[in-house]
């Protein structure tokens, strides 16, 4: 009962994160939504016997994607090569952990992604956003710890929901002026030329 309710809560959190991500920078928006889709897949198989295997694959990849989203939302998007390397390593760690049953192989890339999130939010976020971002990263750390101790249980689902929403909210309030400036310049030029 509690596991079903927590899986439903995680699924609803992924839906909310999808719409909250609309306020994020373009580079981060797609990545937040991709992490949400991965976590929604985990929520949908929350009570199934295959949930621990899905969690071992999804957890490192989703956390790596959230770290890439934070980098793109707070600074400049990482290069394609660096982002690809991060995702390949997270995917290999998740697959190795799921195939062998050694959760440490899946948790190592997740831990690196959490450290990256804490560093990015501490260094590049402003004011309350830095605190909220670090708290969201610590929720993701608690989700990883819950997965290591209890498997794909309600603790994992609830902490993932809190972490995903926290990261989404911080990145949706990031400075959007840098994204919109290239679009505003031509509009200003058109308005100046159109004025009598």
Average pLDDT, the chain: 88
The set of long-range contacts for 138-147, using a CB threshold of 8 Å and a minimum separation of 24, is 139/163, 139/166, 140/63, 140/66, 140/110, 140/113, 140/114, 140/167, 141/111, 141/114, 143/59, 144/59, 144/63, 144/107, 144/110, 144/111, 144/114, 147/55, 147/59, 147/103, 147/107
52-68, pLDDT tens digit by residue?
Answer: 999 999 999 999 999 99
131-140, pLDDT tens digit by residue?
Answer: 999 999 999 9
130-168, pLDDT tens digit by residue?
Answer: 899 999 999 999 999 999 998 888 899 999 999 999 999
Does position 183 have pLDDT exceeding 50, yes or no?
no
Q: What is the predicted pLDDT for the residue at 169?
A: 93
């Amino acid at each position: 009962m509690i596991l079903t309710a927590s899986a439903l809560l995680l699924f609803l959190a992924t839906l909310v994160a999808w719409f909250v991500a609309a306020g994020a920078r373009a580079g981060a928006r797609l990545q937040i939504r991709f992490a949400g889709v991965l976590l929604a897949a985990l929520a949908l198989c929350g009570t199934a016997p295959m949930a621990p295997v899905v969690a071992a694959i999804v957890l490192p990849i989703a956390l790596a994607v959230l770290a890439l989203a934070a980098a793109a939302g707070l600074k400049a998007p990482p290069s394609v090569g660096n982002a690809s390397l991060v995702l390949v390593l997270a995917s290999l760690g998740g697959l190795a952990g799921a195939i062998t049953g050694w959760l440490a192989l899946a948790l190592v890339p997740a831990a690196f992604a959490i450290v990256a999130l804490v560093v990015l939010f501490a260094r590049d976020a402003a004011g309350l956003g830095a605190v909220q971002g670090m708290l969201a990263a610590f929720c993701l750390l608690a989700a990883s710890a819950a997965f290591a101790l209890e498997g794909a249980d309600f603790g994992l689902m609830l902490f993932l929901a809190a972490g995903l929403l926290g990261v989404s909210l911080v990145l949706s309030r990031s400075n959007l002026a840098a994204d919109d400036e290239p679009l505003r310049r031509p509009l200003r030029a058109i308005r100046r030329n159109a004025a009598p």
